[in-house]
Amino acid sequence: MGTDPSPDPWEVARRWPVEQRVEIQSPDGSVWTGRVMPLHHLTGDRVLLLKLDSGYNVGLRIDPGTRFRLLPAEPRDERTGEPVARGPTPPPSGPAVALLTTGGTIASRVDYATGGVRPVRTAAEIMAFYPKLEQDGPVRIVPVVDRLSENITPDDWVRIAHEVVRAFGDGARGVVVAHGTDTLGYTAAALGFLLVDLPGPVVLVGAQRSPDRPSSDGPENLAAAVSVARRAPLGEVVVLMHADLSAHRFALHRGTRVRKMHSTRRDAFQSRNLPPLGYWTEGTLDLSGPVRPPRPGPPRVDGTLDAGAGGLLWFYPGLSAERAAAACAGLRGVIFAGTGLGHVAEIHLPWIRTAIAQGVVVGMTTQCLEGRVDPYVYATGRDLVGAGVLFLEDLLPETAYVKLLWALGQSRDPDEVRRLLATDRCGDLDGRRRPEGAR
């Protein structure tokens, strides 16, 4: 075998460029030929990742005594290249749909050379990725932010809302917002409160299975969202995702009523306390729910959010009054996710009374997620309402928190904030719990 250039071959091997072809002879005599792959962040100490000619990646320990030889590069496999450019197709005509991207992995390409997965972000790449996106008309891609959804902030919600208004101003028939699923529900609620006089649908969409697999739900969700944005007679913010585990039925949920109820399933998004507004099934739209029709427009962003002034507090047995009070220090408003009908332990009453006396708005929702709160069934509830806690019907805790930020952005007067919180704005409070349930 060739050179033995260093007392510690690992010091040499770790500096090899990705794709370098090498032949390695381990101290036990075994010989390995392949291309160097980028190190995985979980790869062990002194382990080199190699793609063998069979296509398998393996990790090899580079111990002292390992010998190696650099090999010339092989001609690259043609099939691992970039997406094939499509011939010029006539630009689709008709009203456009705007596709706002917010980051996350709406699409990812697998790079077979390195084995890595990299997100697809530019408009051209997205079009190459989803060639059928424009089959019913033009789609205009507008990158807004570029973040995984856990890193999306209330300021981003406001930016997205303004981009939605701009897209309608530019003539879009409907708007699709592609978004990571973790906080998609929050963003949907925020857009619901911020946007008024919508002339068409705003459809939020995501993917539960990563797009680097042939079975991803992303392409189907996106195609359905674009179709719904183009056609649905809706003037509100909705979330569209798989209705069940099959790939041909998609549910439309009101943005203020929807929640991610599963960490992995395709049908993770479910409406709470209101049935889905409708379903998109194999090209057919069935809007059977209490939908809000399009408005003549023009749409606008009504107000803004006061992101630093509100909080969300989950009550649990053992939560001390001091800790809870400290968590709410400096806030103008706080939403409790209480137990059952909307309860917290009675030890919290003193600090809650003090806070309310100082002008803090305290709202109550239920950890049950389904059903409404009610202060009059038990003494604790009566004490809380007596202290000035606002019971927020069947608002989801997260939706109530988002609504609080919006209300705090509208007014500095606690009474006005309380009035806004308790008033239906966009179908978020309709006062009815239907026997058929929501899902």
Partner 1 sequence: MKVGLEIHQQLAPRKLHCRCPVELTETVQGTVERRLRVASGEEMGIDPAAEFQAARESVYRYEWGPSNCLVDLDEEPPTELDPDALDVALTMALLLHARPVDEIEVMRKIVVDGSNTSGFQRTSLIAVGGYVEVEGRRIALQSICLEEDAARKVAETEGIVTYRLDRLGVPLIEISTQPEMESGEEARRVAEEIGALLRATERVRRGIGTIREDLNVSIEGGCRVEIKGAQELRLLPEYVEREAARQKMLLAVRESLRGRGATAPRGPPADLTDTLQGVATGPIGQALRRHGQVLGLRLPGYAGLLRSLPGTTERLGRELADQARACGLNGLLHSDELPNPEIGEDRLRPLREQLGVGGADAFVLVAGTDRRLLLRALEAVARRATAALEGVPGETRDPLPDGRSRYSRPIPGRFRMYPETDIPPIRIDPGRLERLRSTLPERPADRRARLTRQYGLPAEIAGQLVVSGQAGLLETLVAQGRSAALVARFLTQDLPAATAAGDAAFDLSAERMDELLRACEAGEFAKEGLPKILAALKAQGASPDVRQAIAEAGFTGLSMEELSRLAEALVDRNADLVRQRGAGAFSPLMGDLMREVRGRRDGREIAEALRKALRDRAPGAPTP
Residues forming contacts to partner 1 in the complex (CB under 8 A) are 26, 28, 30, 32, 40, 42-44, 47, 49, 52, 54-61, 77-80, 83-84, 107-112, 115, 117, 120, 128-129, 208-216, 219-220, 244-248, 264-266
Compute the least distance from the CB of residue 38 to partner 1, in Å: 10
Nearer to partner 1, 30 or 358 (CB): 30
Nearer to partner 1, 197 or 220 (CB): 220
DSSP 255: T
Nearer to partner 1, 212 or 383 (CB): 212
Report CA-CA distances (Å) from 372 to 162, 274, 310: 32, 12, 22
Stated as kind and residue range, the H or E segment containing 189 is helix 184-194
Compute the least distance from the CB of residue 167 to partner 1, in Å: 25
The span from the CA of 427 to the CA of 254, in Å, is: 8
286 is catalytic: no
Residue 272 near residue 259, CB atoms below 8 Å: yes
Compute the least distance from the CB of residue 262 to partner 1, in Å: 8
Nearer to partner 1, 104 or 363 (CB): 104
Nearer to partner 1, 241 or 390 (CB): 241
Residue 190 backbone dihedrals phi, psi, to 5 degrees: -60, -45
181 is catalytic: yes
Nearer to partner 1, 110 or 148 (CB): 110
Compute the least distance from the CB of residue 209 to partner 1, in Å: 6
Q: Which of 181, 256, 304, 365 is catalytic?
A: 181
Nearer to partner 1, 129 or 336 (CB): 129
182 is catalytic: yes
Q: Which of 8, 111, 136, 182 is catalytic?
A: 182
Compute the least distance from the CB of residue 214 to partner 1, in Å: 3
The span from the CA of 154 to the CA of 408, in Å, is: 13
Residue 24 near residue 78, CB atoms below 8 Å: no
8 CB-near residues (< 8 Å, 6+ apart): 64
Stated as kind and residue range, the H or E segment containing 9 is helix 9-13
260 is catalytic: yes
Query: DSSP string covering 129-147, please?
Result: H-TTTTTTS-EEEEE----
**In which region does residue 412 sit, left (phi positive, over 0), alpha (psi from -120 to 50) or beta (all else)?**
alpha
Structure tokens at 124: 């051209």
Q: HSE on the CB side for 205, CA within 13 Å?
A: 33
The span from the CA of 111 to the CA of 40, in Å, is: 15
Compute the least distance from the CB of residue 72 to partner 1, in Å: 19
**3-class secondary-structure state, position 3:** coil
Structure tokens at 127: 């079009």
Among 141, 112, 111, 114, smallest CA distance to 126 is for 141
Among 115, 205, 195, 126, smallest CA distance to 163 is for 195
**3-class secondary-structure state, position 381:** helix
Q: Which residue has the tokens 């809870």?
A: 324
Q: Which of 51, 183, 260, 380 is catalytic?
A: 260
Nearer to partner 1, 84 or 329 (CB): 84
Q: Provide the annotated active-site residues.
A: 105, 181-182, 260
